[in-house]
Amino acid sequence: MSAGASEVLFNAQKGVAPLGLVAMESATEIGAKINSYLKRWEVGGISPDEDFLIGCECPRFSSGDGKGIIKSTVRGKDLFIIVDVGNYNCKYNMFGKENAMSPDDHYQDLKRVIQAASGKAHRINVIMPILYGGRQHRRNFRESLDCACALQELEAMGVANIITFDAHDPRVQNAIPLMGFDNVIPSYQVLKCMFRAVPDLNISPETFMVISPDEGALNRNMYYASVLGVNMGMFYKRRDYSKIVNGRNPIVAHEYLGNSVEGMDVFIADDIISSGESMLDLAYALKAKKAKRIFAYATYGLFTDGLEKFDKAHADGYIDGVFGTNLTYRSPELLARPWFNEVDVSKYIAYFIAAINHDVSISTVLDPHAKIKQLLQKKQ
């Protein structure tokens, strides 16, 4: 179904209940964009002058204790709560000191807002692009299972659906088999942004390759390679299993498996750029194998060790472009970098919200493969 047809459908039909949108402090920017799309489409017959956004806040006492407040009624609404647990730019005061909010703090605030709804909403849906605890998704030793525990906790609090983007391991949904769980991959939005940012990109198999940064990212890179009709290579991480550093076995080397990359433009897709060390190591290794241009994509560009290493890699010709979504906080410094390109996913989320509110099958509203096919036809 085309975008225009979807908008007409959402406008013509009533949803399961009046739609309400709660954007937590961590997600006010993307929440405002989503609200503007829903208003523009007049979802459920709402006029453009009306608003879906419902105000909320989580103030704190000077001791650090917090509480959740919803500023208007949510009774009978199909409530969508958006939270960015990775937004470290949110601050709070405790004992006279300013603290940056951690994922734990954001998750607690989410639960406070759900409590503030007091069971009056028709249905509660949580949009959590970065899945809380998603990187601690499995147990290798005497370890906690943070993500599974959090999902079960939200289910017990009455949450009906969780929408996340590019989960580190989507199999965590096995912890909540009777609850709605959608793991969304914004492949179409990424390719659309890349084609706009790099107009001279030739995606023929003779000049373009997709490279998986490790075995964990194989599925997402196989999808890109398949829809683009190009070859794929991969790296695997050789680790030192005799040591544990920060809870993990350190990486000794990245070993490449696949066809020659000499003279090829290369696209690498991953879920997270954290420190960025691994992505840069791959870029250096690919350049040593005479790759032409290297474009990296991560759904969440965190850059926890700063931007200087990427600045140098770009200046030295190792990285030609980095793509990242607006699903988490991006610092003004990152947005100003010439090598960074933002992938806007707000319209995609708005479609999901409208589809769920209308009990419409997601596959009938958004077909990434069909949309990518149309994009490639325009590219040719």
Confidence of residue 309 (pLDDT cuts 50, 70, 90): very high
Tokens linked to 142 = 């005497």
Confidence of residue 16 (pLDDT cuts 50, 70, 90): confident
Q: Grade residue 7 by pLDDT with cuts at 50, 70 and 90.
A: low
Please give the helix or strand (H or E) that residue 273 lies within, else none.
Answer: strand 265-273
Percent of the chain residues past pLDDT 90, beyond the cut: 69
Q: What is the mean pLDDT of the chain?
A: 89
Sequential DSSP letters for 56-116: EE--B-TTS-B--EE-S--TT-EEEEE--TT-TT-EEEETTEEEEPPHHHHHHHHHHHHHH
What are 42-62's pLDDT values in tens digits? Answer: 786 676 677 899 999 999 988
Which H helix or E strand runs over 299? strand 294-301
What's the pLDDT at 5? 47
Q: Is the pLDDT of residue 308 over 90?
A: yes
Band of residue 6 on the pLDDT scale cut at 50, 70, 90: low
Q: Encode pLDDT of 241-287 as tens digits.
A: 666 766 666 666 678 888 999 999 999 999 999 999 889 989 999 99
**pLDDT band, very low/low/confident/very high, at 379 (cuts 50, 70, 90):** confident
* pLDDT value for 168: 87
Both tokens of 64, joined, read 């650090």
pTM given for the model: 0.90
Q: Is the pLDDT of residue 373 over 50?
A: yes
Q: How confident is the model at residue 329 (pLDDT cuts 50, 70, 90)?
A: very high
Q: Distances in Å between the alpha carbon of 204 and those of 85, 124, 154, 209, 210?
A: 39, 45, 45, 9, 11
Token pair in block for residue 336: 């100003």
